[in-house]
Amino acid sequence: MSIDIDKLAKRLEDSILEDAREVFSETVLEHAYNPRNMGEISDADGVGKITGTCGDTVQISIRVEDGRIRESRFLTDGCGTSIACGSMLTEMIKDRTIEEALMIKSNDLLRSLDGLPDEHVHCTVLAVDTLHAAIDDYTELRSNKQTWVR
């Protein structure tokens, strides 16, 4: 008897996805399986990196031009939800001013993802906290530069 490994893998993948669909929204699954903006910016204007109480670490780097976030990238060693959060959040802040990005709360991210199971809501908090840390880093680096110029 020969086993078609590809067919078996596809069937397994379909069944995992089917289970995941019962728990997660299509939006979460779409971002978790096809993440946008994954990686880091080598010469970023600001970088935030936070390890959450769950033990997972998220990093977000931003490039700012004319007071707007023109590019952002994220990395995570965490759960699939943290990938979806990083992907959605980096899309949400594209071309936003620093002030507008700071106004994004974890509930906004939660809404954009069409909700999450209760046990994964903290993943949105970690992502937003990390963005704020990246913005703090940008603000600090900028004020240091201005001090040097004086």
* 59 near ligand FES (CB under 6 A): no
Is residue 61 within 8 Å of 47, Cβ to Cβ? yes
Segment near ligand FES (CB under 6 A); pick from 32-40, 43-51, 79-87, 131-139? 79-87
Q: Cα-flanking dihedrals φ and ψ of residue 95, to 5°?
A: 65, 10
> Of the two residues 79 and 102, which places its CB atom closer to ligand FES in the complex?
79
* 128 near ligand FES (CB under 6 A): no
Q: How far, in Å, CA of 80 to CA of 76, rounded?
A: 9
Q: How far, in Å, CA of 32 to CA of 145, rounded?
A: 37
Segment near ligand FES (CB under 6 A); pick from 11-19, 77-85, 92-100, 140-148? 77-85
* 79 near ligand FES (CB under 6 A): yes
Instruction: Give strand pairing partners of 64.
Output: 69
Count of beta carbons in the 10 Å neighbourhood of residue 15: 10
What does R_g of the chain's alpha carbons equal in angstroms?
18
Q: How far, in Å, CA of 76 to CA of 73, rounded?
A: 10
Among 81, 87, 106, 112, interactor with ligand FES by CB under 6 A: 81
> Of the two residues 66 and 118, which places its CB atom closer to ligand FES in the complex?
118
Number of residues that bind ligand FES (CB under 6 A): 10
* 54 near ligand FES (CB under 6 A): yes
* 29 near ligand FES (CB under 6 A): no
